[in-house]
Chains A and B, each alone.
Chain A
Amino acid sequence: MTAPLIAAEGLVKHFPVRQDVFGRVSAQVQAVAGVSLAIAPNEVLGLAGESGSGKSTIGRLLLRLLDPTDGRISFAGQDVTALHDRGLRPFRRQAQIVFQDPIGSLDPTMTIGAAIAEPLRLQGMANGPELRERVGALLQAVALPAGYYNRHPNELSGGQRQRVVIARALSVDPSFIVADEPVSALDVSIQAQIINLLEEMRTRRGLAMLLISHDIALMEHLCDRIAVLYLGRVMEIGPARDLVRAPRHPYTEALVSAVPEAARAGRRRIILRGDIPNPANPPAGCVFHTRCPYAQPDCSRIVPEMRPVASGHLKACLRDDVP
Chain B
Amino acid sequence: MTRRACGLVLILAVTFAALFAPLLTAYAPTQTGVFFLAPPDAAHWFGTDDLGRDVLSRVLHGGRASLVIGVGAAFVACVIGVPAGLLAGYCGGRVDLWATQVMNLCIALPGLVLALLITAVTGPSVLNIVLILGFVSWPRVARLVRGQAFLIREALFVEAARAAGADAVWIVPMHILPNVAGVIAAQFALTVAYAIFTSSSLSFLGLGIPPPSPDWGGMVRTGLDYLSINPAMGLAPSAAVGITVLGFYLLGSGTRG
Q: Do chains A and B touch in the complex (CB under 8 A)?
A: yes
Decide if B179 is an interface residue (CB 8 Å cutoff). yes
Give B90 Cβ to nearest chain A Cβ, in Å.
Answer: 15
Selected from B156, B157, B164, B174, the residue in CB contact (under 8 A) with A92 is: B164
Selected interface stretch from B109-117, B165-173, B248-256: B165-173
Is there contact, CB below 8 Å, between B164 and A119?
A: yes
Decide if B175 is an interface residue (CB 8 Å cutoff). yes
Is there contact, CB below 8 Å, between B163 and A118?
A: no
User: 0/1 per residue, A85-120, Cβ < 8 Å to B?
Assistant: 100110011011101010011111110000100110
- Which has the most chain B C-beta neighbours within 10 Å: A23, A92, A107, A115? A107
Give A123 Cβ to nearest chain B Cβ, in Å.
Answer: 6
**Which residues from B are CB-within-8-Å of A108?**
179
Is there contact, CB below 8 Å, between A104 and B156?
A: yes
Is there contact, CB below 8 Å, between B175 and A107?
A: yes
Is there contact, CB below 8 Å, between B165 and A97?
A: no
Is there contact, CB below 8 Å, between B156 and A101?
A: yes
- Which has the most chain A C-beta neighbours within 10 Å: B97, B157, B161? B157
**Which residues from B are CB-within-8-Å of A93?**
165
Is there contact, CB below 8 Å, between A97 and B159?
A: yes
Decide if B178 is an interface residue (CB 8 Å cutoff). yes
Is there contact, CB below 8 Å, between A97 and B160?
A: yes
**Which residues from A are CB-within-8-Å of B170?**
122
Decide if A63 is an interface residue (CB 8 Å cutoff). yes
User: Complex Cα distance A247/B4, Å?
Assistant: 61
Give B94 Cβ to nearest chain A Cβ, in Å.
Answer: 9
Given A109-B179, A122-B170, A95:B163 Cβ within 8 A: yes
**Which residues from A are CB-within-8-Å of B164?**
92, 96, 118-119, 122-123, 168, 172
Decide if A65 is an interface residue (CB 8 Å cutoff). yes
132-180 of chain B: CB within 8 A of chain A: 155-157, 159-167, 170, 174-175, 178-179
Selected from B155, B162, B175, B181, the residue in CB contact (under 8 A) with A65 is: B162
User: Complex Cα distance A60/B158, Å?
Assistant: 13
User: Complex Cα distance A95/B174, Å?
Assistant: 21
Is there contact, CB below 8 Å, between A105 and B179?
A: no
Is there contact, CB below 8 Å, between B165 and A105?
A: no
181-235 of chain B: CB within 8 A of chain A: 181
**Which residues from B are CB-within-8-Å of A168?**
160, 164
Is there contact, CB below 8 Å, between B163 and A105?
A: no
User: Complex Cα distance A314/B181, Å?
Assistant: 52
**Which residues from B are CB-within-8-Å of A118?**
161, 164, 166, 174
- Please list the residues of chain B having a beta carbon within 8 angstroms of any beta carbon in chain A: 97, 155-157, 159-167, 170, 174-175, 178-179, 181
Known: A97-B163, A105-B157. 15 other contacts (CB 8 A): A23-B97, A63-B163, A85-B167, A96-B163, A97-B160, A105-B156, A105-B160, A107-B174, A110-B175, A118-B166, A119-B165, A122-B161, A122-B170, A123-B164, A123-B165
